[in-house]
Structures are given as C-alpha cells and as structure tokens.
Structure 1
Amino acid sequence: MTIPLLALTAALTTACSSPDVRFASPAVAPSAKVSSLYGKLEVVEVTLPTYAASENIFVQGADGAITELGPLWADDPARAMTLQLARDFAAITGAIAAPDPWPFRSFPDAKVDVRLEEMLATEDGTFRISGQFFVAPEEGGRDRSGQFGISVPLPEDASISQIAAARSAATTQLAEQIARRGLR
C-alpha cells in the first residue's frame, strides 16, 4: 500500500511543479575607451552578498525588506558578472582580460577583485550595485582600491527582463569606473 501512495505523491508533486523560469542579462557593449597600464588583467570571481549569490532575483521594498521575485538568473550571478567584467575590461582597455583562474601560460600584469555589498532592484525604480574594487599589480605599480555605488533607472513596474538588462548596464558602468580609477 505504501508504494502506490508514494507513486501518487510523486505524480502529484510533478504535476504541481512548474519549470524554473530563468533570465539572462543581455550583453551591453561598453562605449568608453580607457588606456590601461596593464596589458593582461585577471578578474577574480566577484563576491556577492548572501542573498545575491543565489540564483534568485531580489527586490528591496520601501520598508527595506529584501524579497525574492520568483524567477531565477540564467547563470550563477558571481560567474556571470565576473565573465562580463573580463569581457568589458577587454573592450574598454584593449587588454587581454580573463577570469580567474588565469588560462594563459604567461602571468597577468594585474588582478582585479570586486566585492559587492549590494545587488538588487528597488521599488523606487532603480537597480543598484555597490561595494569595493581592488587592483593589485603583479610587479611594480601601485595597488589601487575604491568604493562604488551605481544606480541604473528602471521603468515603473519593471519586468524581469528589464531588471536583467539593468544588471548588465550596471556591470558595464562598474567596468568603466574601475578602468578610469584603477587601471590607468
């Protein structure tokens, strides 16, 4: 009698569950061009706050509460942002840029480390990222660091696709800021 009951439970669970809905952040081509002191850049995996490190997409309400929206990011957010930063640094500076671990035989000229303390949409109509960045040259040069706070406007009643596009735009703005403040 337990096997039919288990089979019925499994069938009901399968019928009631829906497939995960996932959203990718579309690529945004950086428009800035900044010369870099470094020809080869290694981008350390971006660190995120606990809520943002999950696949869930979050929004912060007027009362400050951070809640899940339901749909998921298409890729691990730390991995996706790291790859985008590497791609954007290459486009902005002309340097060879790659995520950690460094895939080439020669060593990178500098490492870029980004640590976010905030990454979310807000009910007041923005997508925000904030945190710190660190640039550590392998030889010579001086270490650099800085703080950032980037807000990308969202339309009223923004869709998840618009939130994903805003995350991509915020990441590109971050790459441009780091290039200007830490790579030249």
Structure 2
Amino acid sequence: MTIRAIATGLLAMTLVACGEGGPRYLVESPTSELRVRSAVRTLLVRTVSLPTYAADEEIAFQDDEGVVRTMNFGLWADEPERATTLTVTRHLNAMTSAKVAPEPWPLPRPPEGVVDIRIETYIATNADTFRISGQYFLGSEEPEPEDNFDDPDYEPRTQPPPLPDRVGVFDISVALVGEGPSAIATAQAAALTRLSEKIARDLVR
C-alpha cells in the first residue's frame, strides 16, 4: 500500500461521506506474551504527550512530498492522548507485576514509580510505515529513612529508590498492510504494543 493510494481512496470516500467525517476508528493493540517482575509495586502513567497533528481526532498522514495532511474521511474514535495513555497503561498492567494506572492517580496510596512518555513522531509515513518515536522517563522517589525510636543513637538508613531514574529513547516503525484508516489504526496499535514492551523491560530492577 502507498500513501498515494490512501489519499486517492479517501478522496472517493469523502464524496460518499457528505462532509460528516465518516466512521470512527478504534486503536486495538494486540496482546503481548511478555511478562516481567517490576521493581515497583505501583506505577503512574502520566498523560502521553503527542505532537499537535496527532492529538486531533482527524487522522494524519505524510504525503509523497513529506507534508503532514489530515484525512477528510474517518476520525479516531477516542481523543488520541487519552486513548494512547490508556493503551500503554493496559499493556503495562498485563506485562508487569505492578498495579498500573493513568493520572489522576486513583488509588489511596501514592504510586511508587512514574513513567512519562513524550512522543515526537506519530504518523503514517510516505515510506508505507506507521512511525512512533520519542523518549520516556522512569523514576521513583527515595523511601523515607528507617527510624528506631527506641534507640536514640540509631542513625536512620536511607534506602535507594526502588526504580532508579532512567531515560529511554525509542523509534519504532510498523509496516502498513492494506489501505485506508483501518490500516493506519492496525499499524499504530502494533507500534504501541512494541513501545509498551520496551518500557516494561526497563521496569525490571
């Protein structure tokens, strides 16, 4: 499939859609067999930061000239930043031993670890791939020092943070198979699964 084929097909579908935006597409990521024991018991996933062109409900693609355009037919079924955040959260819950939740943190006790994902590229490219690139940041606060109130000479011991500060860089490309928005949604879903696997491996102590 080529981006030109997508654009040509979308032009025809736009005439049928009568300007109403057309159908909405879900991003349903495939499951992963990866299972790891996390260094933290609870993990907060901050709201994923997306480029402006990817944060809109319109589906973006890169044309043959490298220009970012949006499709006139078809929309994302959910707000992209919310959907991406929830997808990564669900994957990390399944892949790791940690209890993982998005912000705002819903559990009574504060999370032991935090992951912050900032995406720079998030688009169907003119190389017939869906590309996702950027950085993620992992870390946790240092535990409170241990006290022994029965011993006045006891010196509190500082414990290292369960999850050391880490910075990860990613650049993932998945081939587009088929045509139209559904092909983009499928490739995007696969890319998010790969990104989640990379983050999960970094959560191991």
Normalising by structure 1, report the TM-score: 0.85
- 1:54 corresponding residue in structure 2: 56
Structure 1 residue 136 corresponds to structure 2 residue 139: yes
Q: Distance in 2 between matches of 1:109 and 1:18?
A: 45
Q: Is 1:42 aligned to residue 64 of structure 2? A: no
Q: Is the 8 A contact 1:135 1:183 kept in 2?
A: no
Residue 19 to residue 133, structure 1, CA distance change in 2 (3 Å): closer
Report the counterpart of residue 12 of structure 1 in structure 2.
none
2:8 matched to which residue of 1? Answer: none
* Separation of aligned partners in 2, 1:44 and 1:122: 27
- Please give the alpha-carbon distance, in whole angstroms, between the structure 2 residues aligned to 1:100 and 1:113: 11
Asked if 1:147 corresponds to 2:169, the answer is yes
2:182 is equivalent to residue 179 of structure 1: no
Letter in 2 for 1:102: W
Q: Normalising by structure 2, report the TM-score.
A: 0.77
SS for the counterpart of 2:54 is: coil
How far is 1:183 from its partner? 4.3
Structure whose CA Rg is larger: 2
Contact 1:111 1:138 in 2 (8 A): no
User: What is aligned with 1:91?
Assistant: 94
In 1, Cα distance between equivalents of 2:93 and 2:202? 16
Aligned counterparts of 1:17 and 1:169: Cα–Cα separation in 2: 30
- CA deviations on 1:38-58 (whole Å, 9 max, x unpaired) are 111100000011111111111
Gaps of 5+ in 1: 1-15
Determine if contact 1:25/1:167 at 8 Å carries over to the other structure.
yes
2:149 is aligned with 1:127? no
**C-alpha RMSD over aligned residues:** 1.5
The question of 1:80 aligning with 2:83 is answered yes
The list of structure 1 runs, each at least 4 consecutive aligned residues, that deviate by more than 3 angstroms after superposition, is none
1:67 aligns with 2:89: no
Partner Cα distance (2:175, 2:78) in 1: 23
Q: Which moved more, 1:112-121 or 1:130-139?
A: 130-139
Q: How many pairs does the alignment contain?
A: 168
Once residues 21 and 187 of structure 2 are traced to their aligned partners in structure 1, the CA distance between those partners, rounded to angstroms, is 25
Please give the secondary structure, in 1, of the residue aligned with 2:174. strand
Match of 2:117 in 1: 114
